[in-house]
Each structure stands twice: as C-alpha cells, then as structure tokens.
Chain A
Amino acid sequence: MAKHATPLLDKLESGPWPSFVSDIKQEAANRNKNPKGLDYQIPKDCPEDLLGVLELSYVEKESHWKHGGIVGVFGYGGGVIGRYSDQPEKFPGVAHFHTMRVAQPSGKYYHSKFLRDLCDIWDLRGSGITNMHGSTGDIVLLGTQTPQLEEIFHELTHNMKVDLGGSGSNLRTPEACLGQSRCEYACYNTQGMCYQLTMDYQDELHRPAFPYKFKFKFDGCPNGCVCAMARSDFAVVGTWKDDIKIDQEKVKAYVGGAIKPNAGAHTNPKWGKFDIQAEVVNLCPTHCMKWDGSKLSIKTADCVRCMHCINTMPQALHIGDERGASILVGAKAPVVDGAQMGSLLVPFISCEEPYDEVKGVIEKIWDWWMEEGKNRERVGETMKRLSFQKLLEVTDIPAAAHHVKEPRSNPYIFFKEEEVPGGWTRDLDAYRKRHQR
C-alpha cells in the first residue's frame, strides 16, 4: 500500500513512453522490501514522499521546493545543490533533499561495475533516485541530507576514485560528444581534450572565482551533437582544411541505389529514389559541388564544411586529413539580454595533445573576464559590452574577415590614438594661422 495516494501521477503510468512515475514507485517498493538489509541512512520512505510532494504540485500546479545555499563538501564551492521542501511536516522523507553532481566520463561510456558501485552508495546514503544525466552532463544524485554529503564524497573519492562535478560561478563539468570512439566524422579526439582540460582545470572547477558560470563543450564536427556552439561559453568544434575525400565508385553506388543515402536515416517512401543533383549538389549552401553523371567534384576553396554531403553519402565522402577545430566563444541561454550563439574566435587550431594551444586561448579569456567581467555576467555578455575587438586584443588574435558575417554598417569607428598620425594632441595656434575664428 502506497504511503500517499497519487491519482494524478498514476495517469502518467499509461502510454508507451517509459514512465518515471512507475520507476519511482518501483524504487519505493524496493526500499520497503529492502532486499539487501540496509540500514538506510536517510528516510526509507523518501521515494514515496517524493511522489507525495509531486502529487501535491500536480494538484496545485506549483513547486514545493526551496533553494538552499549549502554547497556541501569541505573546500569545494560547487557540486552540491541544496534543496528543502516547503511542506516538511507532510513529507518528512524529503524535507532536506540535496543534489550531488558526480563527474561523468566524457562520452558517457560505463561498465556495469562502476554503475553498480554508485548505486550501492546511493542506495545506502541517498534516495535511490538519480538523473542520468543532468543538463551539463554530470551524473546527478537526487536527494540526500546534509550529514551524508561528506560521507558520500569520501566513498566516491576513496572507493570509486571519482570526483564531484561543478556548479556555481566556476568551470562547469565539461562535456564532449563520443568523438573518435564511434564516429567517422570526428575531426579530433573530443573525449581526450575534454578529459585533459577537465583534469588540468580541477581548481577552476571546484573553487569558484569567476564572475559567473563557464562551460566548455567539445563537438567533433560541425554536426554539433553536444550543442557546443549553442550551449557553451567556449565551444571547440572539429573541422578540417583540405579536400573532402571522395570515393567515386561509392558515389556511383549511391546514385545507382546500391547504398541507402543518408546512412539510412530516411525511411519515408514518399522521398522516392535518391537524386544526387537535387539532394546533395543543389542543397550545398555554397554551390561548390558538381555532378557530371559519373564524377562528383568539390571546389574546396568554396566549401564551408556544413557536413550535408558527407552525412548524405557517408560511405563515399570523408572528412579531410588536415584536421583541427574552430573555437567559438560566448554562447548562453536567454537570461538576461537574450540568447547568444558562440561567435567564431579561432577559425582553425591544432588539437594535438597536450592541447597547449587551446589552453592558451582559454587562459587569456579567463584572465580578461575575471578582471573585467561584472558579477553574474557570462563571457558572451562581457564580449558584447566591451566589444569583439577587445576579445581579439586580449587573446592576441588578429582580426580577419572570418570573424564577421558582414562588416559594420555604421562608420562610428573607435580609433585608438596611436592609430592616427600625430595622435590627438593638436596645435591650436597652428590651426588658427590657417583658419579664422
């Protein structure tokens, strides 16, 4: 018998999509049964109280959580988010219900041993409810009480050799696409760069000293599966400089229908037979391709590496060999001044270990932003306030036409004094000799 009646939530158990309500109920049942005979360190009925407080929200259409500023473990300024129920008497099991963020391996590959060990810690010391994963990419352990925070941290670090992730005004847990581990489009080792930078910047991740949050994301190619350009202050997006490699025999196989186009991603019969002219050549955004009936050619100088032709014929076309990445800076969600997409700062950078070139750019941006950024200002907003030119100046990157979609359409140019012959100190007497008042 459930502790709380949940008639509204019960309506979320039907339908085909996996039901989180059914799942929380099975955890509640598991804790009631306690098959491992655990001495639960937080209330046994917290999954039931979680359903109870959520049911109340479904009745009232209002949240019952309060934020807590507790950040958890000693010496760290992030990794724990404090949560309290505003109905603690009705739902004592979730009166205190803090979240812990655990650092995920980049690419999110796991072995069941790791996950089972984590589940065992969370069974004993937490609610048994998680997020796999949070928005930034961490494993989120959802719901425990303050005295357990250090205990969990101790067991994570000593027994599982894994650390907490970031929250607050610091480097957030970096995230990468699965990259070269299972994708032919990856132009660099996204997981390698993500891991190395995460390790090199542990202090920035755990001890907040930035004006606001700062996110790295690493996409292996312009398809952008981890949304680096839209979601991270510092986006590293794989690209290449030389020719797309073409296997003409395979192109013919696509044209002849021997290979399914677009890696089989389109199954609707209404699209009909593959038409290379209409589906690839004509859709190329720069019209840099030609198909003469037997040979596909690409004018590399005009190619902007949008990936469409490669995505459409992955067996015939392959990314070039002169590989690296573009860096785009300043993406953020809308609050306050509207959403921003990352702006291109470095058109091409080498991505070889130990990634010193990339780190050089990062550290110059941090030094500038930590000095000039206002409280709660993302670096994208600092850029808007102080200009893109300033970002170029502090990162020692020369201005190039790549940096803009178009040049400015106003002539209000802020020249520096040293850019003008003779500077700004002028001789009025000499002027007056030429001009009457």
Chain B
Amino acid sequence: MAFISSGYNPEKPMENRITDIGPHKYDEYFPPVIKKNFGKWLYHEILEPGVLMHVAESGDKVYTVRVGGTRTMSITHIRELCDIADKYCGGYLRWTTRNNVEFMVTDEAAMKGLRDELNGRKFSGGSFKFPVGGTGAGISNMVHTQGWIHCHTPATDASGPVKCVMDAVFDDFKDMRLPSPVRIALACCINMCGAVHCSDIGLVGIHRKPPMVDHEWADQLCEIPLAVAACPTAAVRPTTVEYKGEKVKSIAIKEDRCMYCGNCYTMCPALPISDGDGDGIAIMVGGKVSNRISTPKFSKVVVGYIPNEPPRWPTLTKVVKHIVEVYAANANKYERIGDWAERIGWESFFKLTGLEFTHHLIDDFRDPAYYTWRQSTQFKF
C-alpha cells in the first residue's frame, strides 16, 4: 500500500484548513416536487403498507415508498440504493429517523414499478434487501446501537438481536393490523446511546457483574484518578494492593454501589466489565414520545433478564412476539402498549401476558422509586 495524500500537510495542519462549515443545507437535495411544495402540503394517505401519498395545495402528489434498512450498511449497499434512486427518482432519496429509506416519485405507475423492484431484490443469503413497509399501525424498523460490532461496553449485540426480532415481527412490518404503531428499540447497554427509554418495546443490554480489576496492569495502563472520576455512583476508589509480593497502586470497586455502566472501563481497560454468562437483555414496555391522546411516558421493565443466546436469541424474540400478540388481541384501537397497560392495570398486563412478576421489577433506585409503589387499595385481584 502506498500512502495517498489528500493534499493535507501534517507539518502545517492549519494550512488551507477548512473548518466549521457544518452540514449541507437541508434543501440542497430536495426532489423538485418537495422543493416546489415546501410548507404547502395539505394531507397524506397511506395507500398500502410502506407506500404514502402526500397531496399539496397545488394539487401535486408525491408517492413515497419506504423500505427497511439495516443501520449497519456497506457502501456496496448504499451504491445499490443510489442506482435505484437514479433509475426512478432522479437520484434523490432520504433516510428516516428509524433507519428506513424513502424513495419519492410523482407518478403512481412509477411508484408501483419502484415498489415491486424494491420488494424483488434479495441478498444471496435469502433475506430481502429493501422490504417495503414500516408505516401506520404496524411495526416500523427498530432503532438501535452498535453492540458487539463496534462498542466497548455492550452487554449484548445490537444488529443481531435486531435482525432476529425484525424477522419475528416481519409480518407486522408489512401490515397495519395492530391497534396502534408499535415502536421497538434496542440499546446494547444502560447508557442508551440510542435512547430506548420511551419505546413501546425497549430492549436493553444489561451487565450483572461489576468490573474485574486487573491489578497487574491498572497503574500501567490507566490513570487511576480518571477511572475514579468516571464512576457515576462513586463505587470506584484508588487503593494499594499486594500483587505477587509487591505493593502496587490499583483500584477497588465497591460492588454493591456499581450500576454496571462501564464508564470506568471506558477510561481504564484494566477494568473489564463484559461477562458472557452475566450479560443479557431486559425488556421494557409501554413508553411513547408522541403527545397523541396521552402524554409521553417512559417504558417500564417487565422482564428483568434474558440471557444472550446468539446467534438467534430465541427466548428474546419469543417474548417480544408474545407481547405484541397479546397486545394485538386485547388493546383498543388507537391504544399504544403503555395506554393499554395503564387502562387495564399493570397487574392485568402480567396476568394476560403470563410474564412472571419478580422483585427485580419493583423500582429501588433512589427517590423516584417511591412514586411507583401503590399507595391505594384500588387494584385488581
């Protein structure tokens, strides 16, 4: 490999340096029909799962075909998306906040050709490349984090469990039979760099063992004060220990204070936290961000721990699918999972779903815990 210079001169980093130019302006890549009717849209209709029609005051129509995308995506795949955009949409396309990709055309016949072509393309392994769907009262694409593919503190993988869950609920990606939309999200640890705490179904990787301390390397690899400062619960402190007959500077963990966030491992690789047997996934349900009918709410933990079962996470997918089915059979039209659980009462939620209620599900973390206990004689037997 011969190093190819971009023109950057490392001796003079400030020479011809361009900084602070930000993103491209949002309207630079508007398809013409979007540019023309900006701010003048009148109404929309979902023609079929994955296909939207927006009608402007001018009478213009734009047909949008939405396809599921994997968040982790190769440039070969992006180039294929570009080929399709070039063929049908003048090169224009967009992504949604839930990792879906949208193609827009102004002609209904073109929309149908585009839709069929997208549905027709498959990977050599057999999965769809561009499944059309993800609209209305169904299950849209999951938002998720990195997991084992690139994160240093994950308690589970992300892309893998997402693939398995989306396979399990694929029919609902392609349909709109549910009482309301169901938003599923996955964060591979409690730090939730992809916040899942307001999802209808939130899957959260959890560690269950405090970090180990590598006394031999702690002082060599790490600046101990930085690891101490990284801990949000003051569970990490400096100490001196005997290691192989010598006194060495190291770190002590107050294990009952540890909330397994992994922040100390970020600062200090001598504090590994991952543990194949200890790590797994908690399931939270009933959150929402929309203000529609009821106000936004947090998801609540309904399953405290499911072990990691790669490659297909069978227990996790079974529980998620089961929750969706019980919700579909019992909720009223327009009720999100959280609205339904609140209407029937959480004790009924556990009865209907058959999920086991354990002591792990009672909040014991600081002040907010009290407000979740029942201060009433009103409950259902």
A/B: CB atoms within 8 Å of each other? yes
For B129, the chain A residues whose CB sits under 8 A away are 18
A58 CB within 8 Å of chain B:
yes
B217 CB within 8 Å of chain A:
no
The 9 closest A-B pairs by CB, nearest first: A13-B125, A265-B136, A15-B167, A61-B276, A103-B23, A112-B82, A22-B123, A27-B74, A135-B194
For B192, the chain A residues whose CB sits under 8 A away are 333-335
A414 CB within 8 Å of chain B:
no
For A153, the chain B residues whose CB sits under 8 A away are 8
Tell me the complex Cα distance, A198–B233, Å. Answer: 34
Tell me the complex Cα distance, A400–B368, Å. Answer: 25
Tell me the complex Cα distance, A39–B4, Å. Answer: 8
What are the interface flags for A24-65 relative to B under an 8 Å C-beta threshold, 1 for contact and 0 otherwise? 111100100000000111000001001000100110111111
Contact B19 A109 (CB under 8 A): no
Contact B7 A279 (CB under 8 A): no
A58-B157, A230-B289 known; A198 vs B6 contact (CB < 8 Å): no
Across the two chains, which residue of chain B brings its CB closest to A305?
B291
A-B residue pairs in contact (CB < 8 Å), sample of 12: A18-B69, A20-B70, A63-B148, A74-B14, A124-B4, A135-B194, A154-B7, A158-B6, A191-B26, A191-B27, A262-B136, A341-B198
Across the two chains, which residue of chain A brings its CB closest to B10?
A150
Interface segment among A125-133, A356-364, A415-423: the answer is: A125-133
Interface residues in A284-328 by Cβ distance below 8 A to B read 285, 305-308, 311-312, 314-315, 318
Contact A14 B76 (CB under 8 A): no
A234 CB within 8 Å of chain B:
no
Tell me the complex Cα distance, A150–B200, Å. Answer: 41
A15-B127, A132-B71 known; A105 vs B160 contact (CB < 8 Å): no
For B349, the chain A residues whose CB sits under 8 A away are none
Tell me the complex Cα distance, A18–B80, Å. Answer: 14
Tell me the complex Cα distance, A222–B365, Å. Answer: 30
Q: Which one of A13, A143, A161, A266 lies within 8 Å of B333 (CB-CB)?
A: A266
For B274, the chain A residues whose CB sits under 8 A away are 62-63
B93 CB within 8 Å of chain A:
yes
What are the interface flags for A182-211 relative to B under an 8 Å C-beta threshold, 1 for contact and 0 otherwise? 111010010110110011001101100000
Interface residues in B91-146 by Cβ distance below 8 A to A read 91-97, 99, 101, 104, 123-131, 135-137, 143, 145-146
B357 CB within 8 Å of chain A:
no
Q: Which one of B7, B94, B130, B149 lies within 8 Å of A110 (CB-CB)?
A: B94
Interface residues in B1-43 by Cβ distance below 8 A to A read 1-8, 10, 13-14, 16-31, 34, 38-39, 41-43
A63-B154, A260-B45, A264-B136 known; A41 vs B293 contact (CB < 8 Å): no
What are the interface flags for B63-89 relative to A under an 8 Å C-beta threshold, 1 for contact and 0 otherwise? 010001111111111110111011000
A214 CB within 8 Å of chain B:
no
For A161, the chain B residues whose CB sits under 8 A away are 21, 24
Contact B166 A17 (CB under 8 A): yes
Which residues of A are in contact with B by a Cβ distance under 8 Å? Answer: 8-27, 30, 39-41, 47, 50, 54, 57-58, 60-67, 74-76, 83, 86, 97, 99, 103-116, 119, 122-124, 128-133, 135, 137, 142-143, 147, 150-155, 157-158, 161-163, 173, 175-178, 180-184, 186, 189, 191-192, 194-195, 198-199, 202-203, 205-206, 222-227, 229-231, 260, 262-268, 271, 279, 283, 285, 305-308, 311-312, 314-315, 318, 333-339, 341, 375-376
Report the count of interface residues on B (CB-CB < 8 A). 145
Chain A: minimal CB distance from B331 (Å) = 11
Contact B1 A178 (CB under 8 A): no
B296 CB within 8 Å of chain A:
yes
Contact B152 A83 (CB under 8 A): yes
For A40, the chain B residues whose CB sits under 8 A away are 1
Contact B125 A105 (CB under 8 A): no
Contact B131 A16 (CB under 8 A): yes
Contact B178 A11 (CB under 8 A): no
Contact A16 B127 (CB under 8 A): yes
Across the two chains, which residue of chain B brings its CB closest to A200?
B22
Contact A8 B310 (CB under 8 A): yes
Contact B195 A163 (CB under 8 A): no
For B4, the chain A residues whose CB sits under 8 A away are 39, 41, 124, 151
B229 CB within 8 Å of chain A:
yes
Q: Which one of A10, A132, A184, A283 lies within 8 Å of B334 (CB-CB)?
A: A283
Contact B163 A12 (CB under 8 A): yes
Contact B22 A50 (CB under 8 A): no
Tell me the complex Cα distance, A131–B68, Å. Answer: 14
A229-B289, A283-B293 known; A13 vs B94 contact (CB < 8 Å): no
Interface hub of A9, A122, A339 (most chain B Cβ within 10 A): A339
Contact A57 B77 (CB under 8 A): no
Contact B85 A112 (CB under 8 A): yes
Contact A18 B46 (CB under 8 A): no
Chain A: minimal CB distance from B36 (Å) = 11
B44 CB within 8 Å of chain A:
yes
A20-B72, A151-B8, A227-B195 known; A203 vs B20 contact (CB < 8 Å): yes
Tell me the complex Cα distance, A92–B21, Å. Answer: 35
B306 CB within 8 Å of chain A:
no
For A41, the chain B residues whose CB sits under 8 A away are 1, 3-4
A106-B23, A264-B136, A334-B190 known; A39 vs B2 contact (CB < 8 Å): yes
A195-B26, A283-B334, A307-B291 known; A154 vs B149 contact (CB < 8 Å): no
Contact A268 B176 (CB under 8 A): yes
Interface residues in B210-224 by Cβ distance below 8 A to A read none
Q: Which one of B72, B195, B289 lies within 8 Å of A131 (CB-CB)?
A: B72
B244 CB within 8 Å of chain A:
no
A63-B148, A106-B26, A163-B19 known; A335 vs B294 contact (CB < 8 Å): no
Across the two chains, which residue of chain A brings its CB closest to B265?
A67
Q: Which one of B27, B190, B269, B276 lies within 8 Å of A66 (CB-CB)?
A: B269
Contact A119 B79 (CB under 8 A): yes
Chain B: minimal CB distance from A119 (Å) = 4
A16-B170, A307-B292 known; A180 vs B41 contact (CB < 8 Å): yes
Contact B13 A335 (CB under 8 A): no
Q: Which one of B152, B190, B195 lies within 8 Å of A135 (CB-CB)?
A: B195
Contact A335 B191 (CB under 8 A): yes
Tell me the complex Cα distance, A71–B52, Å. Answer: 41
Tell me the complex Cα distance, A61–B307, Å. Answer: 10
Tell me the complex Cα distance, A341–B291, Å. Answer: 12
